Structure 1
Amino acid sequence: MAALEHDRSRLGRSSTAERVADILRERIIEGLFVPGERLSEEAIGSALGVSRNTLREAFRLLGHERLLDHKLNRGVFVRVLSAADVADLYRMRRVLEGAAVRRCAEASPEALRLIGETVEEAERSASDDRWQDVGTANSRFHQALVALNQSPRLDETMRQLLAELRLVFHAMRNPRSLHEPFVERNRLLLGLLEARRAEDAATYLEIYLDDAERLLLQAYEPAG
């Protein structure tokens, strides 16, 4: 819980449930709490210095985001996604990201620069064999893609979707097998966006997501 004790300073004097939920969400996405793990109200509340009521409200918010499961008489657990959950997440990704790349002709140089930075970040991490960091950069790449829609609501939807998907990544024994094939493919997709080839980018993305979903489901080993 040392990491959470460090986070206490971020709460300030007004430790609202939303701010506590923000911290716990970040830590779940980072893998501090893994899928299937029971969250201790006492330990987390003590580490963050918040009341039980505030913490329970934060748990409730994260439950609505599908990151936590509340099990009667057992407690609160980090959610374990099923294969059906993964398939549904990819259905959403096809809608959000497909619409985004079709708007690449309208993309500002700044928007494309931000996408390019995530590609470079993944390439650096891959060269150092930091595959969890590659996964983080890949998530940022796809978040930046959805930003091409220029919709704060879609941005928020994508953030929640990617947070759920990270639960799957943390349950995998070999993250390199998932992330490595897409480092180069992100670079190729960026090239299509920079060339403003919207339909080619959309077709490429469709194949990309089909391959990613298939690879993920083949490798995914959810906790029992």
Structure 2
Amino acid sequence: MRKFTATLSTAALIALGTVPTFASATPVVMGFEGVTADSDQIVPVTPYAEGGYTLTNTNRGDFNDGIFGKNASNSNGSATFVFCAYDSTCFGGTSIKLTGGAPFTLKSIDVGNWETGGPAGTLELIGSVLGGGTVTAVLDTGDAWATRLLSGFDNLLSVEFRGHTAYAVAIDNLVLDLSPSRVPEPGSLALAALALAGLGLSARRRIG
């Protein structure tokens, strides 16, 4: 019996000290589909909401943002979100802010230039992290669309997008997920309950 309670005590330490981390929802892909006809654009289109996330124009000019159909401009074959580069002559540059209802993770994003044959540029991402601090990334943009995987963009309150050099920047297929939370799974809860029972039994034996 002493060996059994010792085993339970060990299990208690393991169960209470190890709580698995897991995402609380399936990823959302912000893809801008079904908003406009293939050959048309919608301007302005912010704030734009999809899947619980919102894009907001932080300093609107005459022409700062729009969703373009798959037959418009430098398309990747589907609708895309386009905004003037932060430091371009595109009717006053802008930045776009992404927010969600809870801390989130930005896993990847598709990036390209809106203007075919225009100058290559960059897309600067500035993530505001829960608890303070920022995380940043700079992604190249050009005529060729590319999927950029991101690292460290977790527990975000918001992400600001700033295009540079290019006339306008196009983005698509933002893969977003709620940030992992330290919530015990049912199996871990059961193990913890069993382990606590073992600790209680062990304590009673010592008192007796």
TM-score (norm 1): 0.23
Structure with the bigger percentage of helix: 1
Larger CA Rg, structure 1 vs 2? 2
Structure with the bigger percentage of strand: 2
TM-score (norm 2): 0.24
